[in-house]
Structure 1
Amino acid sequence: MADIAFYHLMRMPLDQALPKLLDRVLSTGGRALLLAGSEERVAALDAALWVSQDPDWLPHGTKASGHAAMQPIWLTTEDEPAPNGARFLVLVDGAESRRLAEYDRVLDLFDGQDPEAVAAARRRWSAAKAAGHGLSYWQQGDRGWEKKA
């Protein structure tokens, strides 16, 4: 079973919060697969990661850039076995995976300003709990991420 951490975005948008979380994955020697809801979102996040200032370098790729096996961070819309050997799965835009158990850790990021996204995250939490995954809940606060559950 995977450890699934839900990240409730309250103070900054995904494209600003994501680089620091991915940097933490890389700092552990980990690799990540990011599963997004659309190709447009993959392209937008790809661009955002290239111009990130903190951290200023996040090696990553997409289907458009190719060479998945060589990328520490792979951005995709396809729920398939991690082509880059990732043990971390990052879910954005309400993306869901049937492969949660294939990962050591799953980061589920959702927009706290969007009632539909919050409701969908609650449904994903309930399903993950019923499946026996380990769960934690993090919310953006004044000092960064605060563990709430």
Structure 2
Amino acid sequence: MGAAFFYHLTRHPVEVTLRTLLEKSRQQGWRVAVRGRTDEALDRLDAQLWLGPEDGFLPHGRAGGPHDADQPILLTTGAAAPNRPDCVISVEGAGVAAPEVTALSRVMILFDGHDEAAKQTAREQWRSLTDAGVEAKYWSEESGRWEMKAQSGG
């Protein structure tokens, strides 16, 4: 059974945290779907992933191509990911449902701590998932390093 990890971004932009989490996910051997709400945000993330260091290349693609099922990392606005992910990373407040979390190895929800609407969306997602019995962990980088600040049992 999977868990939802909430990442409250206050020091690093989503691009930096996303790259780190994608690298760690790939080290686990996980296939990942990065789910956003808008093509514009995913275009920006896609461009940033291509700019990474040479030794840190993260093979990925945008949904809608002929090889979506083969992508180890697929950036998508859709709920269904043809790459059969082990992990979903939600950005921009993209929705995740409790049954999805429990079926995956992990769901990560990244939200901008400087954006009130993003914080409110994350609070609603936390309530929805924990009310459904999903295990959830809340991580904050406010102190300068990632610390778990809250946990809800599953």
TM-score with structure 2 setting the length: 0.88
CA offset at residue 102 of structure 1? 3.0
Name the aligned partner's letter for residue 78 of structure 1.
G
Structure 2: gaps of 5 or more residues: none
CA offset at residue 143 of structure 1? 4.6
Please name the residue that 2:17 is paired with: 17
In structure 2, distance between residues paired with 1:19 and 1:55? 13
CA RMSD of aligned residues (A): 1.7
TM-score with structure 1 setting the length: 0.91
Instruction: Tell me the secondary structure at the aligned position of residue 94 of structure 2.
Output: coil
Please name the residue that 2:124 is paired with: 123
CA offset at residue 101 of structure 1? 3.4
Q: State the identity as a percent.
A: 37
CA offset at residue 55 of structure 1? 6.6
Query: Contact 1:7–1:107 at 8 Å: present in 2 too?
Result: yes
Bigger shift: 98-107 or 70-79?
Answer: 98-107
Query: Contact 2:35–2:89 at 8 Å: present in 1 too?
Result: yes
Query: Number of paired residues?
Result: 148
Which structure 1 residue ranges, 4+ long, deviate > 6 Å from structure 2?
none
Mapping 1:52-91, distance limit 5 Å:
52-53=52-53, 56-63=56-63, 65-80=65-80, 82-91=81-90
Bigger shift: 135-144 or 91-100?
Answer: 135-144
Query: Contact 2:30–2:86 at 8 Å: present in 1 too?
Result: yes
